[in-house]
């Protein structure tokens, strides 16, 4: 086992362990500094961003929406975490030369060809279904997977089993089996 991956990344066990430390530190920091315990997550931010984007054209509709009212539309701690993920990834990729403009991911291209249009349709449809699911389940692989399982929440274990279980079946249908290259 190597500390560095072939493309100058970090060993995933090392990066994962440091993420565990970060998760602990962030729970302590939000509790101590903000007086409000927050666990890492990402998908609620998409609801807030969707509401903020709709506001200029449909102010009353957003204000009347039950889900938006319950979610409280504001640029909060988690919203800035999600913005930070973008910046942190950019910074990291600049330090090791892995920043790369990519129009279509290689695995997708092998299966469906290099067309950007097809990829766009697949990603948008997949994104819609995935986010409806994440909001219904009340979390994504960050909120349920990382934060939920760290706390030994039953919902975290069940959610991750469903995420991966379904993912394995659908990935097989969409990209072909293990030996299908």
Partner 1 sequence: MNEQILGLVTGVAFGFLLQKGRVLRFDKQVAAMRLKDMTILKFMLTAILVGMVGLHLLAHFDVLAFKHKPMNLGAVGLGGLLFGAGWAVMGFCPGTSVGALGEGRWHAVFAIVGMLVGAAVYAELYPFFKRTVLAWKNFGPIALPETLGLNPWLVIALFWALCLALFVWFEKKRL
- 11-70 residues in contact with partner 1 (CB under 8 A) are 12-24, 26-31, 33-34, 37, 39-40, 42-43, 45-47, 49-51, 53-54, 65-68
In whole angstroms, give the CA distance from residue 76 to residue 48.
9
- Map residue 41 onto helix, strand or coil: coil
* Residue 3 engages partner 1 in binding (rule: CB under 8 A): no
Under 8 Å between Cβ of 102 and 123: no
- Map residue 93 onto helix, strand or coil: helix
The CB-of-59 to partner 1 minimum distance in angstroms stands at 15
- Map residue 156 onto helix, strand or coil: helix
Under 8 Å between Cβ of 157 and 149: yes
The residues in 88-147 that bind partner 1, with binding defined as CB under 8 A, are: 88-93, 96, 98-108, 116, 119-120, 122-146
The CB-of-146 to partner 1 minimum distance in angstroms stands at 6
The CB-of-125 to partner 1 minimum distance in angstroms stands at 7
The CB-of-119 to partner 1 minimum distance in angstroms stands at 6
Q: Judging by beta carbons within 10 Å of its beta carbon (0-12, 13-18, 19+), is residue 175 exposed, middle or buried? A: middle
Q: Using CB under 8 A as the criterion, what x/- string covers residues 161-180 for binding partner 1?
A: xxxxxxxxxxxx-xx-xx--
Residue count, binding to partner 1 (CB under 8 A): 130
């Amino acid at each position: 086992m190597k500390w560095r991956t072939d493309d100058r990344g970090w060993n995933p066990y090392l990066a994962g362990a440091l993420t565990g430390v970060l998760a602990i530190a962030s729970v302590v920091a939000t509790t101590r500094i903000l007086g409000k315990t927050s666990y890492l997550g990402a998908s609620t931010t998409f609801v807030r961003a969707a509401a903020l984007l709709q506001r200029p054209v449909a102010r009353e509709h957003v204000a009347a929406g039950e889900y938006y009212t319950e979610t409280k539309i504001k640029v909060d701690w988690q919203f800035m975490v999600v913005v930070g993920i973008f910046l942190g990834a950019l910074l990291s990729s600049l330090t090791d030369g892995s920043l790369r403009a990519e129009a279509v991911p290689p695995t997708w291209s092998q299966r469906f060809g290099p067309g950007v249009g097809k990829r766009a349709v697949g990603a948008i449809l997949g994104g819609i279904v995935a986010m409806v699911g994440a909001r219904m389940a009340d979390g994504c692989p960050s909120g349920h997977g990382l934060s939920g399982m760290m706390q030994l929440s039953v919902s975290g274990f069940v959610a991750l089993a469903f995420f991966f279980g379904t993912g394995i079946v659908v990935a097989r249908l969409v990209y072909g089996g293990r030996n299908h290259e």
